[in-house]
Copies of this chain bind each other. A is one copy, B any other.
Amino acid sequence: MADLRIGMIGYGFMGRAHTNAFKRVPNFFPGLKHTPVLQAACGRSEDNVKQFAAQWGYASVETDWRKLVERDDIDAVDICVPNKMHKDIALAAAQNGKMIFCEKPLAMDPAEGEEMVAAVEKAGVANTVWYNYRRVPAVTLAKDIIDSGRLGRIYHYRSNFLQDWCISPDVPQGGPATWRLEVETAGSGVTGDLLAHCIDTAIWLNGSIANLSAMTETFVKERVHVDSGQAQPVGIDDACSFMCRFANGSLGLFESTRYACGHKALFTFEINGENASIRWDLEDLHRLEYFDHEDAGPLRGWRSIHVTDHGGDHPYMDKYWVPGLQIGYEHSFLHQAADFFEALEKNQPCHPTFRDALETQQVCDAILKSAESTSWTNIQ
């Protein structure tokens, strides 16, 4: 058993989610050889980071990430700060030989992403990006079914991620709570924040996207900035849709928005093959819908698979409770952490790596360019 000392940079929503994952891995995945140790938490506000460290049990705090990434007692860095800081931290961490966990999206744009990939690959450090939804058991099960070949030729892939928290024009931009609405900090709006999840899952399940045509919109043109207290133009995309063709010949359709009244986190995907179809929905993440054309004709129907069976039947579920009992959103991070440690033992990459996430970044970039140019755009 080897300690793996984590330095966590950022203590917001994602900082909490990742920390919770690290803490619980040894309880639910007892066979792993590495034990995460909460060595240091880092944030600009000393008071806040101390409170966070106390709540979650970090052994020390830092207020300067540069110091953190240089500490000898840190084995891995977890980047949970806004997108515009990912690159610099990742480069410094790689240079210091730290393993890196990075929140998604990888970077502000593909150019940054390429630098980051080059850095971790040159440094030879283990790296992964927290596209956590791959490890929701129902999504992993979808991947298993697809890999088994049950679906046959794929015709269609559709996915969306719908929220509604930006409908009010009173929501501001900037600051710790709403930096996602500030283009200088987030890079893009729903494209990098939400569609990036849809795209990562799509590429994983259905392969690369060849080309696409996109449309974006900013419904609320100005929002008060938290820092200035003044109304300022909104630079991010409030909504984004795109059509695409995958390399395997199937058609894709994607949409994301923060203006879909009634949807808080409706991340869905559906894939239609010649023999079978699959669909999934984050708001009922423990279920997978499956239709198999080979079922006897009169008894064919969409199956609602409650992905809670233990004993090896359903991905990850042998670690938990008894059949019928759900786990939640947070467990997807736990699974990614556990898989990272297992990959480390086997000296294998833990997907999605920075390189995998770069492809998603390139699709996001193509989306924004296509929307701006109102034309079809090839990836790369």
Residues of A within 8 A of B (CB): 13, 17, 20, 23-24, 26-27, 30, 54-57, 141, 144-145, 155-156, 158, 163-165, 167, 213-215, 217, 219, 239, 241-243, 245, 251, 253, 255, 257, 259-266, 272-277, 282-288, 290-293, 295, 297-306, 308-309, 313-314, 320-331, 374-376
Is there an interface contact between B282 and A324, defined as CB atoms closer than 8 Å? yes
For the complex, give the distance between the alpha carbons of A313 and B264 in Å.
Answer: 14
A145 CB contacts on chain B under 8 angstroms: 299
Q: Are A323 and B156 in contact (CB under 8 A)?
A: no
- Shortest distance in angstroms between A255's beta carbon and chain B's nearest beta carbon? 5
Indicate whether A265 sits within 8 Å of B323 (C-beta atoms), given known contacts A255-B158, A374-B213.
yes
The A interface, classified by DSSP as helix, strand, loop or mixed, is mixed
* A214 partner residues in chain B, CB cutoff 8 A: 243
Residues of B within 8 A of A215 (CB): 213, 243, 245, 251
Taken together as a complex, chains A and B put the C-alpha atoms of A17 and B27 apart, in Å, by 11
Contact yes or no, B300 A264, CB < 8 A: no
Shortest Cβ gap from A358 to chain B (Å): 26
Are A260 and B239 within 8 A (Cβ)?
no
Return the 10 tightest CB-CB contacts between A and B, nearest first. A265-B324, A264-B324, A262-B291, A301-B303, A301-B305, A328-B328, A325-B329, A264-B323, A155-B259, A327-B328
Q: A241-B243, A274-B261, A323-B265 are in contact. Are A299 and B291 (CB under 8 A)?
A: no
Chain B residues near A155: list those with CB within 8 A.
Answer: 167, 219, 239, 257, 259-261
Contact B325 A265 (CB under 8 A): yes
Cα distance A323–B163 when bound, in Å? 9
Q: How far is the CA of A265 from the CA of B330 in the complex (A)?
A: 22
Chain B residues, Cβ within 8 Å of A306: 264, 283, 301
**Chain B residue contacts of A163, Cβ below 8 A:** 324
Q: Which residues of B contact A282 (CB under 8 A)?
A: 324-325
Q: Are A376 and B376 touching (Cβ within 8 A)?
A: no
- Cα-based distance from A181 to B214 in the complex (angstroms): 29
Contact, CB under 8 Å: B303 / A309:
no
Most buried by B among A23, A156, A163, A309: A156
Q: Is B291 within 8 A of A326, CB to CB?
A: no
On whether the beta carbons of A13 and B321 are closer than 8 Å, the reply is yes
Given contacts A300-B303, A321-B330, A328-B327, contact A284 B283 (CB under 8 A): no
**CA–CA, A214 and B308, complex, Å:** 32
Asked whether, in the complex, the Cβ of A276 is within 8 Å of the Cβ of B303, the reply is no
Q: Which residue of B lies closest to A272 (CB)?
A: B260
Q: 14 other contacts beyond A261-B275, A264-B306, A264-B323, with CB at 8 A cut-off?
A: A144-B298, A145-B299, A155-B239, A155-B259, A156-B260, A214-B243, A241-B243, A253-B253, A263-B272, A292-B299, A298-B313, A299-B305, A301-B304, A320-B330
Within the complex, what minimum Cβ distance (angstroms) separates A253 from chain B?
A: 5
Residues of B within 8 A of A217 (CB): 251
Are B293 and A303 interface neighbours, CB within 8 A? no
Point out the residue from B57, B324, B327 that lies within 8 Å of A283, measured CB to CB: B324
Residues of B within 8 A of A298 (CB): 141, 144, 305, 309, 313-314
Q: Which residues of B contact A314 (CB under 8 A)?
A: 298
* Pairs across A and B, CB under 8 Å, 13 listed: A156-B239, A164-B272, A213-B215, A213-B243, A215-B243, A251-B257, A259-B272, A261-B276, A262-B272, A264-B309, A264-B323, A299-B305, A301-B303
Chain B neighbourhood of A287, CB < 8 A: 284, 301
